[in-house]
Structure 1
Amino acid sequence: MLAWLVEWWDGVELWLVQLPYVLQVTLAFAVLVPLAWVLARVIDRGIDGLGARLTRVRDAEPPVRRDGSAGRKGTAA
Protein backbone atom coordinates (compact mmCIF):
# COMPACT_ATOMS: atom_id res chain seq x y z
CA MET A 1 0.00 0.00 0.00
CA LEU A 2 2.65 2.52 1.03
CA ALA A 3 5.60 0.56 -0.31
CA TRP A 4 6.82 3.57 -2.32
CA LEU A 5 6.97 5.67 0.86
CA VAL A 6 8.90 2.98 2.73
CA GLU A 7 11.34 2.63 -0.19
CA TRP A 8 11.78 6.40 -0.40
CA TRP A 9 12.40 6.67 3.34
CA ASP A 10 14.93 3.84 3.20
CA GLY A 11 16.77 5.70 0.44
CA VAL A 12 16.82 8.95 2.42
CA GLU A 13 17.97 7.11 5.52
CA LEU A 14 20.76 5.35 3.63
CA TRP A 15 21.87 8.65 2.08
CA LEU A 16 21.93 10.36 5.48
CA VAL A 17 23.85 7.55 7.18
CA GLN A 18 26.55 7.66 4.51
CA LEU A 19 27.22 11.38 5.02
CA PRO A 20 30.07 12.54 7.25
CA TYR A 21 29.06 13.05 10.88
CA VAL A 22 29.33 16.85 10.74
CA LEU A 23 26.89 17.02 7.84
CA GLN A 24 24.52 14.60 9.60
CA VAL A 25 24.40 16.83 12.66
CA THR A 26 24.04 19.99 10.56
CA LEU A 27 21.11 18.54 8.62
CA ALA A 28 19.48 17.22 11.78
CA PHE A 29 19.66 20.66 13.40
CA ALA A 30 18.48 22.39 10.22
CA VAL A 31 15.34 20.24 10.27
CA LEU A 32 14.71 19.69 13.98
CA VAL A 33 15.24 23.21 15.34
CA PRO A 34 12.60 24.90 13.13
CA LEU A 35 10.25 21.94 13.59
CA ALA A 36 10.59 22.11 17.38
CA TRP A 37 10.09 25.90 17.33
CA VAL A 38 6.89 25.64 15.29
CA LEU A 39 5.58 22.81 17.46
CA ALA A 40 6.30 24.82 20.62
CA ARG A 41 4.45 27.85 19.22
CA VAL A 42 1.42 25.75 18.30
CA ILE A 43 1.31 24.10 21.72
CA ASP A 44 1.79 27.46 23.49
CA ARG A 45 -1.04 29.14 21.57
CA GLY A 46 -3.29 26.12 22.04
CA ILE A 47 -2.74 26.06 25.80
CA ASP A 48 -3.26 29.84 26.04
CA GLY A 49 -6.50 29.63 24.08
CA LEU A 50 -7.74 26.68 26.10
CA GLY A 51 -6.87 28.44 29.35
CA ALA A 52 -8.75 31.57 28.25
CA ARG A 53 -11.84 29.50 27.42
CA LEU A 54 -11.78 27.42 30.58
CA THR A 55 -11.11 30.20 33.08
CA ARG A 56 -13.67 30.83 35.80
CA VAL A 57 -13.29 34.59 35.48
CA ARG A 58 -16.14 35.80 33.31
CA ASP A 59 -14.48 38.72 31.52
CA ALA A 60 -10.95 37.35 31.42
CA GLU A 61 -8.71 38.92 28.84
CA PRO A 62 -7.25 36.55 26.27
CA PRO A 63 -3.48 36.11 26.35
CA VAL A 64 -1.23 38.85 25.00
CA ARG A 65 -0.75 38.47 21.27
CA ARG A 66 2.50 38.68 19.39
CA ASP A 67 1.91 42.28 18.31
CA GLY A 68 1.56 43.30 21.94
CA SER A 69 -2.18 43.86 21.85
CA ALA A 70 -4.37 42.16 24.42
CA GLY A 71 -8.05 41.86 24.94
CA ARG A 72 -10.96 42.10 22.61
CA LYS A 73 -11.02 44.14 19.42
CA GLY A 74 -11.62 47.79 20.02
CA THR A 75 -10.31 47.87 23.59
CA ALA A 76 -7.19 49.69 24.65
CA ALA A 77 -4.29 47.58 25.87
Structure 2
Amino acid sequence: MQRIAGWWDGFELWVAGLPFIPQFLVVLVGMVPISFAIAYLLDRALRALFRALGRDDHTEVPVAVAAPARPTVGSGAR
Protein backbone atom coordinates (compact mmCIF):
# COMPACT_ATOMS: atom_id res chain seq x y z
CA MET A 1 0.00 0.00 0.00
CA GLN A 2 2.93 2.31 0.69
CA ARG A 3 4.13 1.91 -2.90
CA ILE A 4 0.72 2.91 -4.27
CA ALA A 5 0.52 5.89 -1.91
CA GLY A 6 4.05 6.94 -2.87
CA TRP A 7 3.26 6.64 -6.59
CA TRP A 8 0.07 8.65 -6.15
CA ASP A 9 1.87 11.38 -4.22
CA GLY A 10 4.48 11.62 -6.98
CA PHE A 11 1.82 11.78 -9.67
CA GLU A 12 -0.12 14.40 -7.75
CA LEU A 13 2.99 16.54 -7.35
CA TRP A 14 3.78 16.15 -11.06
CA VAL A 15 0.27 17.31 -12.03
CA ALA A 16 0.38 20.20 -9.56
CA GLY A 17 3.67 21.36 -11.06
CA LEU A 18 2.36 21.54 -14.62
CA PRO A 19 1.23 24.82 -16.17
CA PHE A 20 -2.54 25.40 -16.15
CA ILE A 21 -3.50 24.16 -19.64
CA PRO A 22 -1.59 20.83 -19.49
CA GLN A 23 -2.80 20.38 -15.91
CA PHE A 24 -6.38 20.94 -17.06
CA LEU A 25 -5.98 18.46 -19.91
CA VAL A 26 -4.46 15.75 -17.67
CA VAL A 27 -7.25 16.13 -15.13
CA LEU A 28 -9.88 16.20 -17.89
CA VAL A 29 -8.53 13.06 -19.56
CA GLY A 30 -8.59 11.30 -16.20
CA MET A 31 -11.83 12.62 -14.77
CA VAL A 32 -14.18 12.36 -17.74
CA PRO A 33 -13.94 8.55 -18.09
CA ILE A 34 -14.02 8.09 -14.31
CA SER A 35 -17.08 10.34 -14.03
CA PHE A 36 -18.87 8.45 -16.80
CA ALA A 37 -18.05 5.13 -15.12
CA ILE A 38 -19.36 6.34 -11.76
CA ALA A 39 -22.55 7.69 -13.38
CA TYR A 40 -23.09 4.41 -15.25
CA LEU A 41 -22.60 2.31 -12.11
CA LEU A 42 -24.91 4.55 -10.08
CA ASP A 43 -27.54 4.35 -12.82
CA ARG A 44 -27.41 0.56 -12.87
CA ALA A 45 -27.49 0.27 -9.06
CA LEU A 46 -30.39 2.70 -8.65
CA ARG A 47 -32.30 1.06 -11.49
CA ALA A 48 -31.97 -2.32 -9.76
CA LEU A 49 -32.96 -0.81 -6.41
CA PHE A 50 -36.05 0.90 -7.85
CA ARG A 51 -37.01 -2.27 -9.70
CA ALA A 52 -36.75 -4.24 -6.44
CA LEU A 53 -38.94 -1.66 -4.69
CA GLY A 54 -41.50 -1.76 -7.51
CA ARG A 55 -40.86 1.84 -8.54
CA ASP A 56 -39.27 1.24 -11.93
CA ASP A 57 -40.18 3.39 -14.93
CA HIS A 58 -41.86 0.51 -16.73
CA THR A 59 -45.10 0.76 -14.79
CA GLU A 60 -48.25 1.18 -16.82
CA VAL A 61 -49.33 4.74 -17.36
CA PRO A 62 -53.08 5.36 -17.69
CA VAL A 63 -53.97 6.28 -21.24
CA ALA A 64 -55.77 9.59 -21.57
CA VAL A 65 -59.03 9.44 -23.48
CA ALA A 66 -59.10 11.95 -26.32
CA ALA A 67 -62.00 14.34 -26.37
CA PRO A 68 -64.36 13.74 -29.27
CA ALA A 69 -63.88 16.04 -32.24
CA ARG A 70 -66.30 18.94 -32.44
CA PRO A 71 -68.70 18.52 -35.30
CA THR A 72 -68.47 21.09 -38.04
CA VAL A 73 -71.58 22.82 -39.22
CA GLY A 74 -71.86 23.21 -42.95
CA SER A 75 -68.76 22.98 -45.10
CA GLY A 76 -66.53 24.88 -42.68
CA ALA A 77 -65.35 27.14 -45.51
CA ARG A 78 -65.84 30.90 -45.31
TM-score range for the pair, normalised by the shorter chain length: 0.5 to 0.7
Distance in 1 between residues matched to 2:18 and 2:38, nearest whole Å: 27
What do the CA deviations read for 1:13-70 (whole angstroms, capped 9, x no partner)? 12111211101101111111111111111111111111111117xxx959xxxxxxxx
> Which residue in 1 is equivalent to 2:53?
54
Unpaired runs of 5+ residues, structure 2, are 60-78
Ranges of 4+ aligned residues in structure 1 off by more than 3 Å: none
Q: How many residues align?
A: 58
> Which residue in 1 is equivalent to 2:25?
26
Distance in 2 between residues matched to 1:14 and 1:41, nearest whole Å: 30
Q: Which of the pair has more CA radius of gyration?
A: 2
Distance in 2 between residues matched to 1:6 and 1:37, nearest whole Å: 25
Percent identity for Structure 1 against Structure 2: 31
Q: TM-score, normalising length from structure 2?
A: 0.62
Q: TM-score, normalising length from structure 1?
A: 0.62
RMSD: 2.2
Unpaired runs of 5+ residues, structure 1, are 63-77
Residue 38 of structure 1: SS of its match in structure 2? helix
Question: Shift of the alpha carbon at 1:6?
Answer: 2.3
> Which residue in 1 is equivalent to 2:44?
45
Higher RCO (C-alpha under 8 Å, 6+ residues apart): 1
